[in-house]
Chains A and B, each alone.
Chain A
Amino acid sequence: MNAFLTDLFISTQGWLFDRLVQPVLFALGLAGYVEMGFEGIEFVLMGILELGIAYTVLRPLEAFWPAERWRNRRAVRVDVMYTLLNRLGIIPLAVFTLLAPAFMALDGWLRFHDVIPRQLEDWLPGLDTHPLASFLIYLLILDFAEYWRHRLSHTLGGWWALHGIHHSQRQMSFWTDSRNHLLDDLIAGIWFAGLSLLIGVPPGHFIGLLVTLRLVENLSHTNTRLGFGRFGDYLIVGPRYHRWHHAIDLPEGEAYRHGCNFAILLPVWDVLFGTLHLGAKLPATGIHEDSPDAMAARDDFWGQQKLGLILMWRALAPRRRRSGAT
């Protein structure tokens, strides 16, 4: 079965490469990019596979064991669009195109000055030949970094203006995971890929790490009553846990001024940094929009993009005025 599925995957990848990608690359004189093109198809196929798994497993949970019952799912449509842009590789490709040349230039400059950046394996040589241990350690490091990226996106006003788009969904479903302002996606991509390159995440691990985190994020946004129990909620982020992060009314207390439950995969970060909240009820999700524009943009892709930029501008503007006055 496993061999059959692997063969099916490879032959699909080969067919798409042969019919769609390879002819275009040769026609454009970009034969040097064929390997990248081939691996790009794998990235897209993994995204489709991931979506298939999420839909097969999570959609029934939403249908049969929902946290909220909705009259219709119209509000979810825009999140589906975000998800397709993300999983079909369009947003990751944009991030890669912007990030790769800058990183190569920096790395090249360092090497010419005899600086070879240290990697995790330089301190833990055994990791070279223990891919599972290496995978888990990198996952831990990246998840830790993701916790802080996420927390900062709630704390810094300009960033929150963008990230608020993600939280504006009042019908949160497993599709909501990808509902992000494009600039927020870009920042997140630079954060994740930049750190991965800095600490030397093996390229072979990269897709696996990304898929692991994305599947858990799909699960945690699912509209379901599912929780992992008293102890389970301390082990891995689930729908009940993450629902509190999206609560329209945050729990009371100074610790939760900017939000709670920022962890992506492991709740331990919320425990360690005092942002954990495990409530018994299932709160409503969303944010309190304070303008008609914001309400109108709730279900509109381009409206959200525009609104995010305007809000970010407003959030940053006072600081500029202050610095201009001094």
Chain B
Amino acid sequence: MTPLRLTASLALTLSLVSHGLHAETAIILNSVDESVSFVDTRSYQETGRAPVCKEPHHLMAMPDDSAVIIACAVSNELVFLDPRTGKELKRIKNISDPYQIGFSPDKTWFVTNSLRLDRVDLYRAADFSLAARIPAAKTPSHMAFDKASQFVFITLQDNNEVLAIDLKTRQPAWRHPVGLTPAGIHMTPDDRYLLVGIMGADYVEVIDWRARKTVTRIVTARGAHNFLPRGDGRHVFVSNRTINGSISLVDMQDLRVVERYDVPGGPDDMEIRADGKELWATARFARKVQVVNLEQKQLSHSIRVGRSPHGVSFINHAPRQ
């Protein structure tokens, strides 16, 4: 091999290695377009788009990050994608109308909410076999678990309630009234409070779930919708989903808003980079993914994706705490 060829070959190898080390794909779910978009997190460009299934709503990474699961509400299935490449790994059929999905912390249960059909299904996480189908009127939306995996807590959007289901008895345990149109729900790291996004108003309702009592309200902004922990065990982001929306950062110890970022277009689902420098949010009403630079505390990139983007995931994310 001539020195010139050797140099060229080394340069190419270094380039590929460098690309492999840093290039990373964000997977964005486009609900109305029924597709997933792939976005290069370095160039902030959409690099591809692929059809996925009928009316996908929400995605989540497997607890071990081995796959990203997409919940396909109308085609009654789960689609598993490679979190690095976005390549389809497998499909599981006959998962009835999955809208929101989640694993219990002990990884025993895989829970699906059927918003359309007023029902919560419990599947055994090991093999996704159905264990129980529980009526949950009306419009079960988001979910959270306690640390012991004894309960799953579900917001009932049109009933203005939180429903607790006992995972041991597989029966509803209690209901607790909350504000107008509850959406996202999140357990604080100390396992003490449930935070509920009150989408019909402008606050997060804080519930002492053991006492079944609302203890306070944290005012964020109109359309308080969804949660994502920052990964530091103390703070959580709250998306305020309106057309001129925003994202609030809430201190879960002091129960107060510490920062707020303007994020237009109806910010909904979020993902945060492992280094904590960037927050990505799907803007449902703008067909965009919005990237917030958390050091500069402002929007840094708007990336065009498909219609009604409803979920974002990348492998290099901060811990879910």
Contact = CB atoms under 8 A, between A and B. Distances in A.
A and B physically associate: yes
A318 interface: no
B96 interface: yes
Interface string B207-249: 0000000000000001100000000000000000111100000
Nearest to A41: B285
B199 A111 contact: no
B50 interface: yes
Given A32-B139, A111-B133, A129-B50, A14 B199 contact: no
Interface stretch (B114-122, B169-177, B313-321): B114-122
Contact of A111 (B93, B117, B222, B242): B117
Q: Determine chain B's interface SS by DSSP, over half rule.
A: loop
B75 A22 contact: no
Contact of A32 (B55, B157, B284): B157
A308 B97 CA distance: 41
Q: Determine chain A's interface SS by DSSP, over half rule.
A: helix
A128 interface: yes
A108 B285 contact: no
Nearest to B118: A108
A104 interface: yes
Interface string B26-64: 000000111000000000000000111111000000000
A98 interface: no
B180 A14 contact: no
Contacts of A203: 32, 34, 54-55, 74
B265 interface: yes
A17 B285 contact: yes
A104 B32 contact: no
Contacts of A35: 284, 308
A128 B51 contact: yes
B133 A29 contact: no
B217 to A, nearest CB: 16
Given A202-B74, A203-B74, A204-B33, A31 B55 contact: no
Contacts of A3: 304
Contacts of B91: 128
A208 to B, nearest CB: 11
A200 B72 CA distance: 13
Interface-central residue, A31, A38, A39, A111, by most chain B CB under 10 Å? A31
Given A29-B180, A131-B34, A22 B242 contact: yes
A211 interface: no
A313 B96 CA distance: 43
B150 interface: no
A10 B117 contact: no
Contacts, number: 100
B54 A31 contact: no
Nearest to B34: A204
B149 interface: no
Contacts of A270: none
A14 B243 contact: yes
A108 to B, nearest CB: 4
Contacts of A34: 199, 223, 241
Contact of B51 (A26, A38, A119, A129): A129
Interface-central residue, A18, A130, A202, by most chain B CB under 10 Å? A202
B50 A31 contact: no
Contacts of B76: 116, 119
B117 A32 contact: no
3 closest pairs, A vs B, by CB?
Answer: A31-B200, A31-B181, A108-B117
Interface of A: 3, 6, 10, 13-14, 17-18, 22, 26, 29-32, 34-35, 38-39, 104, 107-108, 111-112, 116, 119, 121-122, 128-131, 200, 202-204
20 contacts: A3-B304, A18-B242, A22-B243, A26-B200, A26-B222, A29-B200, A31-B180, A31-B200, A32-B200, A34-B241, A38-B284, A104-B117, A107-B116, A111-B97, A119-B75, A119-B76, A121-B54, A202-B34, A203-B54, A203-B55
